[in-house]
Amino acid sequence: MGKVLSSKWTKVFAFLLCLVPLFLGANPIEKITHPTGDWTIWFLLITLSVTPLRKLLNQPKLARFRRMLGLFAFFYGCLHLTTWLWLDKFFDVREMWQDVVKRRFITVGMLAFVCLIPLAITSTNGWVRRLGFVRWQRLHRLVYFSALAGVIHYYWLVKSDVRLPLLYGGILAVLMTYRLAAWMLSKSTKRSAGAVSMLK
Ligand code: HEM
């Protein structure tokens, strides 16, 4: 498994796989908003699953895919936003602004998208070095906020059947609980290690 995950070709294959949604179905352009929205939230959740899976399956090489998956979430988010800007609003800035302030699902969707911009910009190794790993890691916690805002955006836009947004919210809650538990565990381990070293 480790050998497959570290191969260059596995990453190339994963990259091509991430592009498949672009070619799925012969959607007329008006129907692009929904699938691109779906792919944005799916890629956000997939990206957030990498760390728990890496730890639970003991597969450190999975980390190689996280940046690419996160950038695909941004890519589909850009397509999703573009279809709204273009097909819905015809690039009319006044109309766009009115939509953002009047419709709460658009406001929170915009918030979800805006949170992804600094993450995409600082996704390179150069930016990790420039910011320092700790600050970079802190900044990249914005991804949790973006995924939460994305789920709320979906929940607020559906008219009656809220099963899917609730499912995504549930998946996000599980992923966040895992992170919180891992963080609390590492804190208490550090504390008890500190106590042991004081006793020595
Ligand atoms: C991270 C950011 C975002 C995520 C994860 C996201 C996700 C989604 C999802 C899952 C859907 C429903 C798709 C379906 O019904 O199958 C959707 C629909 C939609 N989104 Fe977003 N979205 C985001 C940002 C935005 C932004 C920035 C805008 C516009 C400013 C926007 C406008 C819309 C519109 C207009 C719809 C269709 C609503 C309808 O006609 O029912 N979204 N989005």
Per-residue pLDDT of the chain (200 residues; tens, 9 = 90+): 778 888 889 999 999 999 888 876 656 555 788 999 999 999 999 999 999 999 999 999 999 999 999 999 999 999 999 999 998 899 999 999 999 999 999 999 999 999 999 999 999 999 999 999 999 999 999 999 999 999 999 999 998 999 999 999 999 999 999 999 999 998 888 888 777 776 66
The pair of three-digit structure tokens given for residue 94, joined into one six-digit string? 């006044």
**Ligand 1 pocket, 70 CB below 6 A?**
no
How far is residue 23 from each of residues 16, 20, 36, 63, 95, measured CA to CA in Å? Answer: 11, 6, 12, 27, 31
110 lines ligand 1 (CB under 6 A): yes
Helix pair 104-121, 142-157: axis angle to 10 deg:
150
Distance from Cα 1 to the centre of ligand 1, integer Å: 36
Cα 41 to ligand 1 centre (Å): 9
CA of 106 relative to ligand 1 center, distance in Å: 8
